Every structure is written in structure tokens, then in C-alpha cells.
Amino acid sequence: MDLLSGTYLLAVLLACIVFQSGAQEKNYTVREELPENVLIGNLLKDLNLTLDPDVSLSSPLQFKLVYKTGDVPLVRVEENTGEIFTTANRIDREKLCSGIFSENRCFYEVEVAVLPDEVFRLVKIRFLIEDINDNAPLFPSTVINISIPENTAINSRYSVPSAVDPDIGVNGIQHYELLKAGPVCLPGQNVFGLDIIETPEGDKWPQLIVQQILDREQKDTYVMKIKVEDGGTPPRSSTAILQVTVTDVNDNRPVFKENDIEVSIPENAPVGTSVSQLHATDADLGSNAQIHFFFSNQISSLAKRLFALDNTTGLITIKEPLDREESPVHKLTVLASDGSSIPSRATVTVNITDINDNVPSIDTRYIINPVNGTVLLSEKAPLNTKIALITVMDKDADLNGKVTCFTDHDVPFRLKPVFDNQFLLETATFLDYEATREYAIKIVASDSGKPPLNQSAMLLIKIKDENDNAPVFTQPVIGLSIPENNAPGTQLTKISATDADSGRNAEISYMLGSDAPAIFNLDRRTGVLTVVRKLDREKQDRYSFTVLAKDNGMPPLQTNATVTLSVLDQNDNSPAFTHNEYNFYVPENLPMYGTVGLITVTDADSGENAAVTLSILNGRENFIIDPLTGVIRPNITFDREQQGSYTFQVKAIDGGRVQRSSTAKVTINVVDVNDNRPVFVIPSSNYSYELIPTATNPGSVVTKVFAVDNDTGMNAELRYSIIGGNSRSLFTIDQLTGNITLKEKVITADHGLHRLAIKVNDLGQPESLYTIALVHLFVNETITNGSYVQELVRRNMETPVGQNVGDGEITPQTNDYVKIIIAIIAGTMTVILVIFVTALVRCRQTPRHKVVQKSKQSGEWVSPNQENRQIKKKKKKKKRSPKKSKPDDPAHEHINGTLDIPVELEEQTMGKYNWATTPTTFKPDSPDLAKHYKSASPQPTFQIKPETPVPPKKHHVIQELPLDNTFVVGCDSLSKCSSSSSDPYSVSECSCQGGFKTPGPIHTRQVIQSF
């Protein structure tokens, strides 16, 4: 980027001379394809510009790039500093200097004016464009076919079409290489070689060399790859397929009479004019002597377009009109072939001679920016005020291209030569506005041809007077209105102001005040006020700002007016819910038409467009909504156990002429109220019992209770406790799991039946609900008579819950009594054994008694009505003695608040308890307990249907468990016969229908802990 040395020293000296006349030249070297904002030079420093402190400047120092209107400059100049930068428009040497292949010939020129007039100079900047390797060399086609006769001598050379690289110098073509096909050389692959010859113009042409004798019968085709590479860094390359066909013997190839021909032809020669007649001969005979002429692939596309070649005669003619200014010289490479050998080559150089067929062109580049094509110049402009740079050109050559420039009549302006064919238009005398207000200057350019050709251009200059009047608005306050949602660019009004001055002083520019929003635009020239974006009344419904009218005087004068704009509403907003989805939580005991919640909806519009009505789209049978307030009320009563949530859509519609609507999803979640008491699942019957062997270790789980609650949350959190029947504190219960554990070691005094009153209560608020169940635990070594224990259970059910059971039911014998019994048993062992065997045989032959169970029919767990309660109270008064009670008597209806479990639940509880299945010998009519005791207690699935809004009393304190697992044998009563057994709780004899005694063990059920 430094100043060119050597060859440009003379240009520097001349520039110093030209500098005295206000013109100067500067040269820079720039690489092509530089990115944007690359610093090229600094005119202030490179031109050594210094300001004379005694010279007063009318304006700050300015560097102005002078270019033709519509041109896109490839560089930019900082007006304040004079720094030159590249622009986003990349410099492409191949595009800028198409057809130029000399490194020192591709230039790009611009002019820069140094202002103001006190220090004015015009600087011509010439950029020498350096080439970079941005193009790869390319062959004319991807497949190159060459025919070589088989009798060709070794070392014969055949031309290969050369590649083309738009780059120059080392970035151009430097090397050709013949690539062998495949990783392993095949037979015949070394038949050919490649050599490169360099033409006087510097072009490199590849030539194929025959290195071995060719035999068409042995191999008639050779396929290779040829590679071309430039010398750039990094180098670029390309390849093509080179296919050599071996032809039959052709002894001679055509010979041109002249290999180099040069002709000249005027550029106005008509189409069809003969350019040159080529002659070639062939020493062969017959078909081998028939010559075919054709252009080489190496000639330019322009030459192929302009010239035609007769394939038979070799006559070259003009195919399209010529233009010397497009290309003054064409090199035509003509090949002559007899069809079998390598063609002969001849070069025809066609020089296009100039004809004065181009008129001069006038390029006006304004230094003072024109307004609407007219330069405005103050009448106080000093002498030599620079107005424009006039450049004249003629594409013709010699005298036809020599141009003179002048004005056609006397005006107070002149054209001052600065560079070749460039003139500065400047003032020659002082201007007087009152004498002449405007000038139409006709600039004429004429060449020196015969006859000469002329061109003219008009340049308008208006003289302005001094500015002494400010513009005046026709209205000081401008009131406007516009509907919202206007189209961008909608015109609001045309602001008008007048100025008593004339010329530039009367030219008014309209501007928005600093308080004007950016959404408004005011045309500086016409005063048309537009809104550039769509207005939204909901964001802002009123605008107030100032507009300015400013003249073009120096100094300018201005005045202002106030614009008020009202934005009118349109129904462009749909009602907007505060939430896309509403979730309300209501207690299940909410009364009908109570308040569920409030839906809030807004509409950003105003007036009727904002009047919103609400309605329910689906779910009207369950809920109603106030169309104005949005209050949602139920027209049903809730029951969470029946349905826990309700979902529906609410629609909001406004009152606009074209109504708009929106919807929102509403979910009503029914919050649980503690209206369900716990229900015992285990034990499945109040009449069941468990055997607790006396050898059970303290801390062992002897049984388990399990209850469920149809409520949710804390209302379904259950706690277990023993509230009765545990006077000796022999058992404890886990309040969370319901596991009943033996607390103390069993002693003799603990033997017998224990009835535990188990209470389960939920943690509901505000009132906890509970249920009581009875658990029977029989403490003994074994159960020798299950019917007896079952009878004890039945009798204990008649005992009030508050009274402990197990104390004194069967009085334990003292140790002395036990010893006596053991002695009696030992003395009578033989007799007892015989009786036992006989009884066993007879019991197996006697049909068993059927088990009588009480079937309870209850479809839902609902509260018993008052009538049932009264009936139960009457039954309490008529209570019979245990001996007279029937086996299927519930026997505990005196307990306040019983709960009937549905038959379905009882049936579901069967199957998960794995009772022992070992056959047992009972009395003749006793049931098979092993078969009967197979029940389970899964958590039942059920629905509670309370009446709302006031929850009924659906549950009671004591749960009456079904009798399905209670078995009573056919004995009318228990016969406490004397026995010699050592077990004080066993029943050895019983009067049954069969009239015989049958002692035997009873197998108890084993509970599977699967809860």
C-alpha cells in the first residue's frame, strides 16, 4: 500500500506540479478479495496535508469521494480523517479487469475532493489490484479425446487442449502432470509421456509424447488422467480424463500453407465478410486426404461467437457484428485433420481497426450534492467554488477518441482541466440572485473524428438568496384521528408551511420533533405525515408531538407546530382470561348454588368491544356461571367418593360488531371431607379367633388388623389402638400397621379366650371418625375342640364391649389339680385309647353337619335408619340366654352402632387366607375347618354415595363383621363333661345328635402376612 517506486517517480514529480493547480494523484496497491473495513491508506498523512492557521475555513476539513450517481464504490473514505477502507463489495480482479493478464495493468480509479473551497484539491487515487490465487485452473472439458495413428514414431508429440486459469503470474497455470490410472501400473501405462512448452505470450501448452511403439491390434485405447496445477499458495488444481485412441496407419497429416496469419478488418465490416482463407494439403490419397477444418478449444468464447469457419473449405467469415471497443484483437487457432492423425495447427490473428462509431460520453460527478438534479448555489458563493467533476471519454482510438469539452454559451462558470479528459466546473464570477435566479449549463463534448461526433449534457444551477424569513405553518395545532390496526405507511395528513424567501431559503424541509415517537415518519420534502407501523389503541390511545418546518438557508430558520393524534378503537382483541386453565378446590359438602370460584376475564378494547359475557360450553348440567361477574356455582351436590373432579370449558365473547371470543379450561376439584369412617377388612368377622400358643415368645406378632377409609389425605390416615379386653396388658398393637404383638410371656393365668376391642380412627379434621372391631385370641397349647372355642366366642359377643372377656371364662386349675388329673389319665390310658379309636371310626362314617352362616345383604355402606335402630333396641330387651341362642345369631347387637359389611366385600375377602388343610376329626356333624377357613381380605373397591350438601352419618362406632368364618357344629349346647385330659380348656366330650363323645384336636388357620 506504499507509494509505488521506480516506474512511478516521474508520476510523483508531475503530481507535485499538478498540486499547484489543485489536482493531485495518489497510487496504492491493494490485494483483491479483501474483507470489509481493511485500511488501505490515509490521505491526510499520505498527501502531507497541513492547514494554514491564517486561513479561516467556512466548514471543517472534509474528504469527499466523488462518484457517479448509481455507482457502487469499492472503497470508502472517512470524511473527517481521510482514511480509505474496503467495503462490503469485494474487489474481484478477474471481474474488474476481465481479459487483462498483465500484473501491472489492472487498476481501479476514484476521485476524492478535499473540502472546503479554501483548501480545495481534487485527488485521483489509483489502486493497483494484486491478484490472489482464488481460481483453480480448469480444462475445457472433463474428458479429452485424442486420436494417434499406430505407425506414430517414438517421441512424436501431440497437443493436448490446455487449461484456463483466470489468475495471473505465479497464481496462473504452472504445471501439467500425467497421472497413471490405478494404484498399480498396468501394461502399456508407460506408453505416453507429457511435456510442456511455453509460448511467447507466456502460455503453457501440454504435449503428449509417444514413448513406445503403438499397436492397435494389441491395444487400441489408453485412458489416463491429466492434472493441471497453478503456483499459488496453496496451489489449486483440477484433473480431466485423457483418452487416447490408436487409429489405423495414416502416413501423412495435413499441412497448412501458412501456420501464422495476421489480418486486419474494420469493426464495421458486415456479417458474412471473409476474414481469411486457410489452405492445407495432405499427401495421402483417398479418404485419408480429406481435410476437416475446425476451431481449437483454446480460442475464446467471444471469438467463437464472432467468427465462423467452413469445415470443408477453411474459409473464416464474420458471424456477428464486430466491436473494436469490446476486443481489438482476436486469435483464432484453426486445426486441420484428415480424420485419423493428429491435426495440424494454424493461428489467425484478427486485428479490428477502429471506426469513429462511438460518441463521447459525459460523466458528471457532483461535488455539491444536487437536490432533485439541480445544484443550489448561494449568491454569496466565493469565486472558484467547485460544483462538479466532469469526465469525458470516447471508446474510439487515436483521433477518434480525442475529446474536447466546453460550454455552449457565456455563463458565470468555467471548465477547468485537472486530469486527462477531466474538468472541474467552478464559478468564474460572483453570482447575483436578483440578476439571474437559475442557470441551465449545456456542456458539450466533441471528438476529433471525421466527421466529429458530439455529446452534450445539461447541468442546472439555482441561485439562492439570503435567508431572512422563517417558515410558517398554516395551522399551529393539527388535530388528527385514525382507527387502530392501520396499514403500515398510512398517510395521516400533509403538513404544509410557507416561506416568504425564495430559492433555497424558501425550500422547506419537514422534520419530526425530538418528542415524536419513532412510529411516525414525516417526508422532509412533501410534508406527508405517515405512520410506519400499525397502531394499537390498547397500548397507547393518544399521541402528541411537534413537527418542524426548516428552510435550507444558511443559517437555517425553523418553526414548529403541535400534532395531536387520537387512536380509535377496533375490536381487535379477544377476551383474555387471567389463566388458560383454572383449578378450583371445593369441599364435597358445599351446598348447592354455593360459590365455587370466580373467573376473571379482561378485554383490552373499549366500549362495546370490551363488554364481555361468559358462558359454559360443556357442563351446564352441573354448573352455572354468572355471565357478567364470572362467579361459578354448582347446581348439584358434590360427593368426592363418587366423582372427584369436574372439567368444562368457559367461553368469553365480547360485544363487538364482529364478535371475538376465547375459551378457558376450568377444573373443579372436590376436596375430601371426613365423612367416611374406617372399615375393617381384617378381621373379616367378629366371630373369628386366633390360637396363641403358650410357648409364643414376647414380641411376636400374633395377629393383625387392617382397615380402609374411603376418604383421602389425612382423612384416610388411620391409627389403631386397643381400647378393651387387655386388662392384663398382655398384648400391644402397632398404631400404624395394626400388628398385634404379645407383650409379656404367657403364664398359666393368661390361658383362655381374650376378646380385644380394637379401635381404628382416622386423622380427619375437624372431627376424627373411628370404628371398633373385636379380635378373639385363644391362649392355649392347642385347640382340641374348636366348637367349644367357637361357642365361647359366640357367648362373648353378648358381653358388652366395656367388660373384659377371658377372666374366669375357664378357671385355670391349680398345680395340685393338674397333678391329680395326670394321675387319673395315666391310670385310665388304656380305656381312653379304646374309646378314642372307636369314636374316631364312627365319626368318619357319620355325615357332617352343615355350617349355618348368616347372609347379610347390604349393597352400600350406609347408615342404618332410625327404624332399624329401634328394632335393635327392642331386640336387646328380648335377649335370650346363651343356651337358647341359635348358632347364627349375631349375638352382639347390643353394641351401639354396628356396620354391616356388604356380601360382595365378604366374598372378596375369601381366598387370601391360607388355612391349614390337614383333615381333622370332629364330632359327626362338625364342619371341615381346613376346607372352610380359606378366606382373604383384599382392600375392597367401593363407592360411597353420600347425600349432599350435609353429609349423612354413614358409619358407626362398632363394625359388625360377617359371620362367614364362624362355624357352629350340630351340638345343642356344650357339655362340660369330666375329662381326664391335662388341658383344662379342652372339651373332651359333647352330646351331639349321634349320641357319642369324640375328643379331637382342631387346626387353627394360619394368616399369611400379605398386607
> At CA 921, angle to CA 916 and CA 927, rounded to 5?
70
Top-ranked range on mean pLDDT: pick from 170-184, 628-642, 874-888 = 628-642
Residue 373 has pLDDT above 60, yes or no: yes
pLDDT mean over 649-670: 91
177 and 292 belong to one structural domain: no
- Between strands 528-531 and 497-498, the pairing is unpaired
* CA distances in angstroms from 201 to 237, 647, 684, 832, listed in the order given: 22, 90, 115, 143
742/554: higher pLDDT:
742
pLDDT mean over 46-61: 82
- Which of the four pLDDT bands, split at 50, 70 and 90, describes residue 199? confident
- Which of the four pLDDT bands, split at 50, 70 and 90, describes residue 349? very high
In a domain, 353, yes or no: no
Residue 999 has pLDDT above 60, yes or no: no
Cell (9 digits) for 1003? 387346626
In a domain, 731, yes or no: yes
Show the domain range for 442: 361-464
Q: Judge whether 460 and 432 are in contact, CB under 8 Å.
A: no
User: Would you call 42 exposed, middle or buried from its count of C-beta atoms within 10 A (0-12, 13-18, 19+)?
Assistant: middle
796 and 912 belong to one structural domain: yes
pLDDT mean over 787-816: 62
pLDDT mean over 657-681: 88
| pLDDT value for 878 | 40
Phi, psi dihedral angles at 24 (to 5 degrees): -155, 155
- 871 has which bridge partners? none
In a domain, 825, yes or no: no
- Which of the four pLDDT bands, split at 50, 70 and 90, describes residue 919? very low
Residue type at 186? Answer: L
Cell (9 digits) for 374? 439541480
819/570: higher pLDDT:
570
742 and 863 belong to one structural domain: yes
206 and 288 belong to one structural domain: no
| pLDDT value for 16 | 42
402 and 436 belong to one structural domain: yes
DSSP string, 810-847: SPPPPHHHHHHHHHHHHHTHHHHHHHHHHHHHHHHHSP
**pLDDT tens, 100-127?**
555 557 888 898 988 888 888 889 899 9
Residue 1004 has pLDDT above 60, yes or no: no
Residue 542 has pLDDT above 90, yes or no: yes
Residue 528 has pLDDT above 60, yes or no: yes
Q: What is the DSSP letter of 783?
A: B
Among 284, 315, 344, which residue terminates a domain? 344
In a domain, 1000, yes or no: no
Residue 874 has pLDDT above 80, yes or no: no
In a domain, 931, yes or no: yes
804 and 900 belong to one structural domain: yes
Three-class SS string for 960-992? ECCCCCCCCCCCCCCCCCCCCCCCCCCCCCCCC
| Helix (H), strand (E) at residue 794 | helix 786-796
pLDDT mean over 149-166: 85
| pLDDT value for 690 | 85
74 and 16 belong to one structural domain: yes
The neighbour count for residue 10, using CB atoms within 10 Å, is 9
**Percent of all residues in the chain with a pLDDT value above 90, rounded to a whole number:** 24
Among 506, 536, 568, which residue terminates a domain? 568
**Percent of all residues in the chain with a pLDDT value above 70, rounded to a whole number:** 76
156 and 224 belong to one structural domain: yes
pTM for the model: 0.43
Q: What is the mean pLDDT of the chain?
A: 76
pLDDT mean over 305-310: 93
How many domains would you assign to the chain? 7
pLDDT mean over 179-207: 74
pLDDT mean over 28-57: 87
pLDDT mean over 568-582: 90
13 and 41 belong to one structural domain: yes
pLDDT mean over 471-487: 91
User: In b/e form, how buried is each residue of 324-340, taking b as 16+ CB within 10 angstroms?
Assistant: bbeeeebebebbbbbeb
Output the domain CATH number for residue 394. 2.60.40.60
Residue type at 506? Answer: A
Residue 758 has pLDDT above 80, yes or no: yes
**pLDDT tens, 852-873?**
333 333 333 333 333 333 433 4
| pLDDT value for 820 | 66
| pLDDT value for 120 | 86
201 and 229 belong to one structural domain: yes
In a domain, 1002, yes or no: no
**pLDDT tens, 978-988?**
333 333 333 33
76 and 47 belong to one structural domain: yes
The neighbour count for residue 593, using CB atoms within 10 Å, is 12
In a domain, 879, yes or no: yes
| pLDDT value for 931 | 33
- Which of the four pLDDT bands, split at 50, 70 and 90, describes residue 460? very high
In a domain, 195, yes or no: yes
| pLDDT value for 169 | 83
Among 297, 314, 344, which residue terminates a domain? 344
* CA distances in angstroms from 280 to 275, 417, 846, listed in the order given: 17, 57, 141
- Which of the four pLDDT bands, split at 50, 70 and 90, describes residue 250? low
Cα 101 to Cα 536: distance, rounded to the nearest angstrom: 62
| pLDDT value for 996 | 32
The beta strands (E) that lie in 68-185 are given as 75-77, 83-86, 107-115, 121-130, 143-149, 157-159, 173-179
- Which of the four pLDDT bands, split at 50, 70 and 90, describes residue 938? very low
489 and 458 belong to one structural domain: no
